[in-house]
Amino acid sequence: MENAVFENTYSFAAEMDASDKLKNFRDKFYIPRQADGEDVIYLTGNSLGLQPKTVRGYIEQELKDWEKLGVEGHFNAKNPWMPYHEFVTKQMANVVGARAVETVVMNSLTVNLHLLLVSFYRPTNERHKIVIEANAFPSDQYAVQSQIKFHGFDFKDSLIELKPRDNETLLRIEDIEETLLENGDSIALILLGGVNYYTGQAFDIKRIVEIGHKIGALVGFDLAHAAGNIELNLHDWNADFAAWCSYKYLNSGPGGIAGIFVHERHAENFDLPRFTGWWGHDKETRFLMGSDFVPIKGAEGWQLSNPPILQLAVLKASLDIFEEAGMGNLFEKSKRLTGFLEYLLGEIDDERISVITPSNTEERGCQLSIRVRNADKNLFKAISDKGVIADWREPDVIRVAPVPLYNSFTDVFKFAEILKNCLD
């Protein structure tokens, strides 16, 4: 975003809000309040999204049907529970740029990563290495290391960690490419985050997939910080698989149900090894209770158990809002909103803070990571006392993420003023 289009005034922020075609969507969410009744400045939707006001009604409908119908709710509820997960499939596919057959919601993120790694990490003595970010989210590190050990390899030999250059914070795509090409004959799998949780850097998924396939590796992504945040086209980009949670940008509540993507070219590859459960069994014969597993075509075939309906109801409430807002509108506002935040932070002349997230809007989502010199957490405590809800990530970063569904330009302006005053 060109800084010249912005002004460092409250009136400018208010004008931006007045002309924002998504401004009314803020009213669809509960904004936490301070002790004095004022709204907090909530900038941590990258950790837990806010509650849509419609959620209670969606859940109460299922409670009502459970109360009135008991087990018959599986077939006769207003929203029958048997196919309930299918009610969100198309909406979720639209969020990640996929086809319906490639998408399903189920389980939690790391569980899904393990299930997908069972299928797509097939190491041999020649090809046994997995490529990840050195600073990937710890759960990804743990999952990958345990999968390597499960297959009888030592992760010290089988794990390639992508690291920034000395005295740099971000990964360069040319360095990723060089590492992949240099180790191509030994790489079985590439597993990267769509957006790095710490720096906020978004990776060039399309190019990484192209390089990975060129060297004969399979390529998957953890989209926890990407789904609902950046524009994704997983089908067209040809990724093999992906997994994501939905409680961050997708507002499905703490521990909400997660999702997976498996590219359509794998839809009928029933020779892929997988851990199986009855909900992944062919729907036409599932209730014949046969002993032989017959997988559903596509991503649904990776399901294990019937899903939690109350969690699905929350997700459905949120995805209905996404559908109403339109993904294109959200991405457009997000770039403008985070661009305004970046501009305001640049107006604060203080060497104690710096933004480590890329300035290029194609290399980030809505999150900006503010590095605090000397890792002084007192600054984070000070802005928290002033009504800002952000989060601190060790060792030295305050993460702030203005979410286009419910954050405003005046939120961003007020935050910048509070940060400046706390530094003063």
DSSP 297: S
| Residue 318 shares a structural domain with residue 330 | no
Any domain includes 398: yes
The pLDDT score that the predictor gives to residue 123 is 97
The pLDDT score that the predictor gives to residue 4 is 52
Q: Which of 310, 280, 252 is nearest to 59 (CA)?
A: 310
374 falls in which pLDDT band (50, 70, 90)?
confident
Any domain includes 221: yes
Any domain includes 80: yes
| Residue 292 shares a structural domain with residue 374 | no
- Mean pLDDT of the region 313-318: 98
Domain stops at, among 322, 342, 371:
322
DSSP 56: H
Any domain includes 330: yes
DSSP 31: P
This prediction has a pTM of 0.95
Predicted confidence (pLDDT) at residue 377 exceeds the cutoff of 50? yes
Reported as half-sphere exposure (CB side, CA atoms, 13 A), residue 223 has a value of 30
Domain stops at, among 271, 305, 322:
322
| Residue 155 shares a structural domain with residue 294 | yes
Report the number of distinct structural domains present in the chain: 2
69 falls in which pLDDT band (50, 70, 90)?
very high
Report whether 255 contacts 108 (CB < 8 A): yes
The pLDDT score that the predictor gives to residue 376 is 83
- Burial per residue of 122-147, b for 16 or more beta-carbon CB atoms within 10 angstroms, e otherwise: ebeeebbbbbbbebbbeebbebbbeb
| Residue 256 shares a structural domain with residue 241 | yes
- Mapped onto helix, strand or coil, the DSSP state of residue 407 is coil
| Cis peptide upstream of residue 395 (ω within 30 degrees of 0) | yes
| Residue 241 shares a structural domain with residue 366 | no
More confident residue, 3 or 184: 184
DSSP 52: B
Any domain includes 347: yes
**Looking at the DSSP assignment, which residues form a beta bridge with residue 399?**
369, 391
Determine which helix (DSSP H) or strand (DSSP E) holds 168, and give its type and residue range.
none
The pLDDT score that the predictor gives to residue 375 is 82
Any domain includes 49: no
The pLDDT score that the predictor gives to residue 1 is 46
Write the pLDDT tens digit of every residue in 1-58: 444 589 999 999 999 999 999 999 999 999 999 999 999 999 999 999 999 999 999 9
Report CA torsion sign: 302, 304, 309, 315.
negative
CB-count exposure of residue 112 (10 Å: 0-12, 13-18, 19+): buried
Write the pLDDT tens digit of every residue in 340-367: 999 999 999 999 999 999 999 999 999 9
Q: Say which CATH number the domain at 375 has.
A: 3.90.1150.10
Query: What is the Cα–Cα distance from 32 to 162, expressed in whole angstroms?
Result: 38
Please give the radius of gyration of the chain, using alpha carbons only, rounded to the nearest integer: 22
**Looking at the DSSP assignment, which residues form a beta bridge with residue 51?**
none
The pLDDT score that the predictor gives to residue 118 is 98
Any domain includes 90: yes
Write the pLDDT tens digit of every residue in 230-244: 999 999 999 999 999
| Residue 249 shares a structural domain with residue 331 | no
Q: Say which CATH number the domain at 251 has.
A: 3.40.640.10
Any domain includes 52: no
Query: What is the Cα–Cα distance from 271 to 85, expressed in whole angstroms?
Result: 25
| Residue 369 shares a structural domain with residue 236 | no
Write the pLDDT tens digit of every residue in 257-313: 999 999 999 999 999 999 999 999 999 999 999 999 999 999 999 999 999 999 999
Report whether 402 contacts 341 (CB < 8 A): yes
Determine which helix (DSSP H) or strand (DSSP E) holds 192, and give its type and residue range.
strand 187-193
Reported as half-sphere exposure (CB side, CA atoms, 13 A), residue 407 has a value of 33
The pLDDT score that the predictor gives to residue 2 is 46
- Mapped onto helix, strand or coil, the DSSP state of residue 389 is strand
Locate 61 and state its tokens.
């409908």
Query: What is the Cα–Cα distance from 264 to 239, expressed in whole angstroms?
Result: 10
- Mean pLDDT of the region 78-86: 98
CA torsion 285-287-292-297 (nearest 10°) is: 50
| Residue 11 shares a structural domain with residue 108 | no
**Looking at the DSSP assignment, which residues form a beta bridge with residue 190?**
131, 219
Report whether 99 contacts 261 (CB < 8 A): no
| Residue 339 shares a structural domain with residue 252 | no
Predicted confidence (pLDDT) at residue 189 exceeds the cutoff of 50? yes
Q: Determine the structural domain holding residue 131 and report its residue range.
A: 61-322
Query: What is the Cα–Cα distance from 376 to 230, expressed in whole angstroms?
Result: 30
| Residue 302 shares a structural domain with residue 220 | yes
| Residue 300 shares a structural domain with residue 343 | no
| Residue 174 shares a structural domain with residue 208 | yes
- Mean pLDDT of the region 370-377: 91
- Mean pLDDT of the region 128-153: 96
Locate 204 and state its tokens.
């060039």
Domain stops at, among 276, 300, 322:
322
